[in-house]
Structure 1
Amino acid sequence: MASDEKPVSDQDGEHGSLLMLAMLALIVGAASGFVGALFLLSLEWADRFRDVIIGWSHSKSFAGLLVVGIVCAAAAAIAVWLVGRFAPHASGSGIPHVEAVLNGQLPQAPFRIIPVKFVGGLLAIGAGLALGREGPTVQMAATIGHLVGKVFRCNWPDCRVLLAAGAGAGLATAFNAPIAGAIFVLEELVRRFELRVAIAALGASATAISISRLLLGDAADFHVEELTYAGAATRPLYFILGAAAGFAAIVYNRLLLGTIAAIGRLNRWLGGLRAALIGAAVGVLAWFVPDLVSGGDAITQRVLAGREIFALLPIVFLFRLGLGAISYAAGTPGGLFAPMLVLGAQLGLFLGRLCQLVFPDLNIQPEGFAVVGMAAFFVGVVRAPLTGIVLVVEMTANVTMLLPMLGACFTAMLIPTLMRDPPIYDSLREQTLERERMRPGQREHA
């Protein structure tokens, strides 16, 4: 009688292959955590160095302003030169490229993308551009995963699994959020549950965090004062916050894509000066308002602590909105997650304080709105609700706002979807593929 069961020898072979893949995922995670932690430590050094230069320059008046502008312009220009000369796919976030590779739409970039992404990201973010640290860590870690697969002579399906697992480890390291890193792989990168990918992603994220915490410490990225659970009377307000985040996400996506297109059209006149001019402009801004440039973690912490002036929140929000779009359009390495979290926190705190004024009898904590706003805005832009919610919970070490987050993320995701606004990484991946089609014969193979 015929049987659907596989022979024992075949099952043993599959289990052995899976065990080998799991062991390699641990190696990928450890290497990714180490490289990612070094990158984050280097960024801290670069931020301090920029602050020292700005502090010194204020004593030199206009000459000091000129020095800051030149230094930032040079850093951005060198970052773009490294990308163009050695690894074109290192431009921008890198997540759209990783997605395209996993979908079989592009070949994996050469392994030299790792040093290019590291140095280029350090120069760009260190110069004050409003870019996220997770873009470089995700793409570097994904490449490390593919490299480990190649070293151990894995076939493409196994290399693909290790590449995805490495990407998750990179996100986990960037935000000290191991569960979000694993969820990000399944929800955003491969967009379906694959057992082998899930096992590898969990293992890689676990070892990445174990290594990175040895260098960076165990504390959550952001400190939030104790928040009370949202009462029944305040919960509808979080749906309104989600709706506001959804509309703001549409504006963000369209502004980012429009800025990239506009600055891209200027390339025929500006050429390689594009990044230098943007870097110089950011340097001038840093001279006048040093606390409002770079990735934005310090801003997010101030917002979560409720230390921002209510009347200035809309102004700072618009400032960061425009700065983020222009910074990304420069073409340097750098991600979007961290700047998005800044905007979401600002939007949430503003609406929280507004609701506090309108409904003084309700027990409203504006800082709780800021926490929920981070998740809602992220979900509106990326359309990855599980990643957004878990990421914010892990970064703030706060679970009391989990129920409000669900409601806010529901409306934040619904509105852009009804408005037919595509997720930002879908749009950026299409741009990546279009640029690749415009460079015939220049595809880079690993």
Structure 2
Amino acid sequence: MAALSLFALLTGAVAGLVGALFRLALEQADLFRASILAWAGGRSGFGLVAAALACAAAAAAATWLVRRFSPHAAGSGIPHVEAVLRGELPPAPLTLLPVKFFGGLLSIGAGLALGREGPSVQMGATLAHEIGRRFGLGAADCRVLLAAGAGAGLATAFNAPVAGAVFVLEELAQHFERRMAIAALASSATAIALARVLLGDAPDLLAAALAPAPVEAYALFFIAGGVAGALAIAYNRTLLGVLAFCDGLTRIAPVWRAAVIGGAVGALGFFAPSLVGGGDPLTQSALLGDGDTVALILVFLLRFGLGAISYAAGTPGGLFAPLLTLGAQSGLLFGFACKALFPAVAIEARGFALVGMAAFFTGVVRAPLTGIVLVTEMTDNASLLLPMLAACFAAMLVPTLADDEPIYDSLRLQTLRRARALAAADRPEAA
């Protein structure tokens, strides 16, 4: 165990370095996109075409990298990591690393509504397996190290070390395993220690001080969780439906599908630059309680569809960040409604935005502890833990009663089907 712990510390440092560099690169990509869109905004029709073509080219290039060099780099990567941990697929080769890094940089930088955590998790897992392989560790130790590397990737993506370790046990392993827990804590700790040297230690999001929720408002948080659970069912089914529709477009090459989606995102960015990308500024705005109700509803609906369409492009990119945006927006809308309906209750609408992030995440992923810890660490705010527990309970209950599968279970099965299809397509060539 001592040797495995040392390797876990090394894994965390390497995963933290790569994850931090990925975040820094994404920040520059976002700035570059903003400058391109600002330039295009002053050139009317020509600017619109230029913005659409630039984003189309970036999305197409990302998909081409995936299809040409590393098919398992498509999408989040978390379903692939889960399949590897279950022994259903072999670990990804090291070639996935540059594809995930630069493909994610292209797709997220182009403005697709994708998160940075998926690439960070899969890159961390891939690096961890390579470290274990090169040092001659056995299969069991490599498995533990791979999970720890994935957790380090998540920790770095959101500056949330405890959430990274919890994610390993709750979502990846889905049971408590002492060796894996020790390795996950070690890797997340060193990942954050190194990443903060490059990124700083400020929380990702700012949530102004919130007063503890009055007891009479607890029932409202429970209802908010139920609403988040129902929205999560709709989101999961929308995402899977869009993926199935795009997979059915067999006459259109995946690269061209990605180009169309990227072009549409570029056109949207031309008219409303703040609505594209991972969504952190929108999440921050909701946590501050900003927004007109009608405009907030329209933005929520647009981002709801944009997240599913962006994921269907087949480029590297995760789901967490867009989920947190939708959760914050839907929570804020629910808070506005509660303030209007119950003026006598001391309600802060932005408190529902904070709780909504964890609740919607829980409803989609079915990992409540990860959601609660993640939101708490990202915002450095623990004032609404009890309301968050109530909301996450309801958000977990509603999809479970509706027999709605957690999104990563569904995506893992889809990953397995695609892997079998690729293997079947390769057999005639090998023969």
TM range (shorter): over 0.9
CA distance in 2, matches of 1:103, 1:442: 24
Q: Do structure 1's residue 54 and structure 2's residue 41 form an aligned pair?
A: no
Aligned to 2:172: 189
The answer (yes or no) to whether the contact 1:133–1:334 under 8 Å persists in 2 is: yes
Aligned pairs (5 A) from 1:44-123: 44-123=27-106
Q: In the TM superposition, what whole-angstrom CA distance separates every residue of 1:136-165 from its partner, at most 9, and x where no partner exists? A: 000000001001101111111111111000
Q: Do structure 1's residue 289 and structure 2's residue 289 form an aligned pair?
A: no
> How much has 1:64 moved relative to structure 2?
1.1
CA distance in 2, matches of 1:49, 1:383: 35
The answer (yes or no) to whether the contact 1:267–1:274 under 8 Å persists in 2 is: no
> How much has 1:228 moved relative to structure 2?
0.7
Segments of structure 1 that go 5 or more residues without pairing to the other structure are: 1-17
Q: Do structure 1's residue 167 and structure 2's residue 150 form an aligned pair?
A: yes
% identical aligned pairs: 61
Q: In the TM superposition, what whole-angstrom CA distance separates every residue of 1:102-135 from its partner, at most 9, and x where no partner exists? A: 0000001111101100000000000000000000
Aligned to 1:405: 388
The answer (yes or no) to whether the contact 1:121–1:333 under 8 Å persists in 2 is: yes
Q: In the TM superposition, what whole-angstrom CA distance separates every residue of 1:223-278 from its partner, at most 9, and x where no partner exists? A: 11110111111110001100100000000000000000001111323443100010
CA distance in 2, matches of 1:24, 1:247: 42
Q: In the TM superposition, what whole-angstrom CA distance separates every residue of 1:300-355 from its partner, at most 9, and x where no partner exists? A: 00110111112211111110000000000000000000000000000100000110
Aligned to 1:269: 252
The answer (yes or no) to whether the contact 1:344–1:375 under 8 Å persists in 2 is: yes
Q: Do structure 1's residue 248 and structure 2's residue 235 form an aligned pair?
A: no
Q: Do structure 1's residue 440 and structure 2's residue 423 form an aligned pair?
A: yes
CA distance in 1, matches of 2:424, 2:141: 27
The answer (yes or no) to whether the contact 1:436–1:443 under 8 Å persists in 2 is: no
CA distance in 1, matches of 2:407, 2:371: 14
Aligned to 2:183: 200
Distance 1:228 1:377, change over 3 A: same
TM-score, normalized by length of structure 1? 0.95
CA distance in 2, matches of 1:122, 1:179: 26
Q: Whose Rg is larger?
A: 1
CA distance in 2, matches of 1:443, 1:103: 24
> How much has 1:60 moved relative to structure 2?
1.5
Distance 1:233 1:136, change over 3 A: same
CA distance in 1, matches of 2:426, 2:289: 48
Q: Do structure 1's residue 141 and structure 2's residue 158 form an aligned pair?
A: no
> How much has 1:27 moved relative to structure 2?
0.5
Aligned to 1:360: 343
Give the aligned residue type for 1:77: A
Cα RMSD (Å)? 1.1
CA distance in 2, matches of 1:211, 1:390: 21
Secondary structure of 2:42's match?
Answer: helix
TM-score, normalized by length of structure 2? 0.98
CA distance in 2, matches of 1:51, 1:215: 23
The answer (yes or no) to whether the contact 2:289–2:332 under 8 Å persists in 1 is: yes
Which stretch of the first structure deviates more once superposed, 264-273 or 43-52?
A: 264-273
Aligned to 1:388: 371
